[in-house]
Amino acid sequence: MEEMTILITNEAKRELDKLLANSDKTCVRILTRCITMTSDAKVDLELDEPTPDDNLYDVDGYKVIINKVLDSQMNYITISYGGLLSRDSFSVDADFNFYY
């Protein structure tokens, strides 16, 4: 298994700083979330605390946690904020290693 690479853009860091300052949570959890029963799952984030089932990464001083099973399926994650498709929200893009 390849080593996980996680990139957090500067815009996302600014917004994460705001969220973490107003929360009792200390980590950013990467997870999959199904918005509706008819839509595909998407990779998302939320503030949380680690569990024994998680891998913990330190990314530029941010604690990023990912469930070990989900983590084993990904090689690369980019956390961004803003942009054309997600003007006032976070976007999490993941490279799943299903094709390798």
Residue-level pLDDT at 4: 83
Residue-level pLDDT at 86: 64
Mention the CATH class of domain 5-99.
mainly beta
Q: Structural domain boundaries of the chain? A: 5-99
Residue-level pLDDT at 29: 97
Residue-level pLDDT at 37: 62
The pTM of the whole model exceeds 0.75? yes
Residue-level pLDDT at 33: 82
Name the E strands within the chain.
5-8, 27-34, 41-48, 54-59, 62-67, 74-81, 90-96
Per run of 10 residues, the mean pLDDT along the chain (length 100 residues) is 82 96 96 72 91 96 95 91 79 75
Radius of gyration from C-alpha coordinates of the chain: 13
Distance of CA 46 to the CA centre of its chain: 8
Pairing of the two strands 5-8 and 90-96: unpaired
Secondary element (H or E) of residue 86:
none
